[in-house]
Structure 1
């Protein structure tokens, strides 16, 4: 009788913050892996084990965590199966401990000419095609779309899938399809992780070990979905913020610009914020009013409805 295959369990933490105008994730080993570890001996709680691994590896004591997804199709070097249970935590600016700034590992940034200085890496270093705030995004994405077109060939089903996923041929770009876009690029062999023995046909972001980039893509899709109907963006902001800070945070998470007047009207009409007497004088112009998240933000929050139109993408 054949012995049953052994299965290992790994808990993976996606620690998200807003830093330098981008959604960033805390990484280890020069951006190659995420904080993680097995279920601790004698520990019956997955989340308690996860928090302890995060504390040991980063110096951070995470607060509220939510489960992302369980990845059960990974394998270890010894032939055992590994189940990865991933969790996500949002870190406000004051939650990043001093230990993080001095950790002895640093990420490799997407811009290789930039010297890495800390373990925080932009999501868009791993998924550069997801950041559509910059007008030159279409030009940077063109080689990826060309490689996808070659992969799809005359297969109508593949062509349709590419069009829907990447917002081509009359389809709109859907921010929340970040995971679908990653999985499509994987299937097309355009990610380094999906073709380790050869170079992909085009540059598609910074790779990670194992399937950690798949975990990150899941987190990005979850974040973009949650900013549509929950106040999760406030978890990533300082307690006091301006309307511009809030808009920039939403743009960073969605990876697309938003219409300034429409966004402010949408926010104020919903009664999501409470005005304070304090002003922000850090900018070069007139001091801006500081706000805090109001009680209404917990019951009803719809901030993603003021999107500016995006330029069409072409094959």
Structure 2
């Protein structure tokens, strides 16, 4: 998190000319000689390459779709990657970050809503949905042929994933929404995977692109993290040792992409017994001193799913 906005580490790597300006998620090889487990290899590689100390880590998925790293003219082997969701605190890493590691690898922190702007509902329903995304998807869905491998028709998937015709907007369907945009040719990666230049005929393409299938990996990670909020206290991996309830709410809103009712959120936190007061207060807001809280770690031993069971989008 940076300034209460979720960010992902994006690095620059050498690739084909048409991808020269695109960033990618950090990645590296697994060395079974030196790494006992995949997770140990991940933590070691991230530490060596970036200096970052990871907190919560979870394996996401195996990514190996055609187009992610190969072209029709390529003769080498096809590469398969194992994606991980890894959380870290910028505040904790700032003092320990050795020199220019991130800069040397072309790394920078980028807000993830730049890649998925239709997912940020904190202020209101994104205007781009009704002005451009949904009309473009509806035109595509009406003409798209049915896929026998899918149980639903394109128009049915559109209504379900984007909350149309009475369906609710489900913040966890980040990946499904991105993949529908990909199928419809409304993101850059649709063309890059086919070795084509993105169109210059005025057609709208949505969100910042990434190399290979890294935006799909990031969408998978966001979906998983949003889901995890509801049954694991992962949000506290991104919080300092002490915090106000307002800061906690803003962090949850940033991850979920939703606005939450203040009193309902505080009631949810109290009922879940997830935090405890430190006895201190903060005057950083400039107004009345706000009580400081910390994560109540004993909750982990008290019940199996101590998360924040958020309600519908407000």
Q: Same fold (TM over 0.5)?
A: yes
Name the residue aligned to 1:132. 121
Name the residue aligned to 1:15. none
Query: CA 1:100–1:207 in 2, change beyond 3 Å: closer, same or farther?
Result: farther
Q: CA deviation at 1:101?
A: 8.2
Distance 1:278 1:31 in 2: 45
Distance 2:307 2:216 in 1: 27
Name the residue aligned to 2:60. 68
Instruction: From the two aligned structures, give the one with the greater strand fraction.
Output: 1
Matched, 1:82 2:65: no
Residue deviations 1:40-71 (CA, integer Å, cap 9, x gap): 26234322222232123211132442111111
Name the residue aligned to 1:24. 7
Q: Of the candidates 144, 154, 162, which is equivalent to residue 158 of structure 1?
A: 154
Is the deviation greater in 64-73 or in 213-222?
64-73
Q: TM-score, normalised by structure 2?
A: 0.82
Q: CA deviation at 1:172?
A: 0.6
Name the residue aligned to 1:214. 216
Distance 1:297 1:246 in 2: 17
Query: Which ranges of structure 2 fall in alignment gaps of 5 or more residues?
Result: 13-20, 147-152
Q: TM-score, normalised by structure 1?
A: 0.82
Matched, 1:239 2:241: yes
Q: Of the candidates 84, 89, 110, which is equivalent to residue 121 of structure 1?
A: 110
Query: CA 1:187–1:225 in 2, change beyond 3 Å: closer, same or farther?
Result: same
Matched, 1:148 2:137: yes
Count of matched residue pairs: 282
Query: CA 1:253–1:83 in 2, change beyond 3 Å: closer, same or farther?
Result: same
Matched, 1:256 2:221: no
Report if the CA contact (8 A) 1:191-1:204 is conserved.
yes
Query: CA 1:136–1:183 in 2, change beyond 3 Å: closer, same or farther?
Result: closer
SS in 2 for 1:91: coil
Report if the CA contact (8 A) 2:22-2:211 is conserved.
no
Distance 2:309 2:53 in 1: 30
Distance 2:98 2:254 in 1: 22
Query: Which ranges of structure 1 fall in alignment gaps of 5 or more residues?
Result: 1-17, 108-117, 310-315
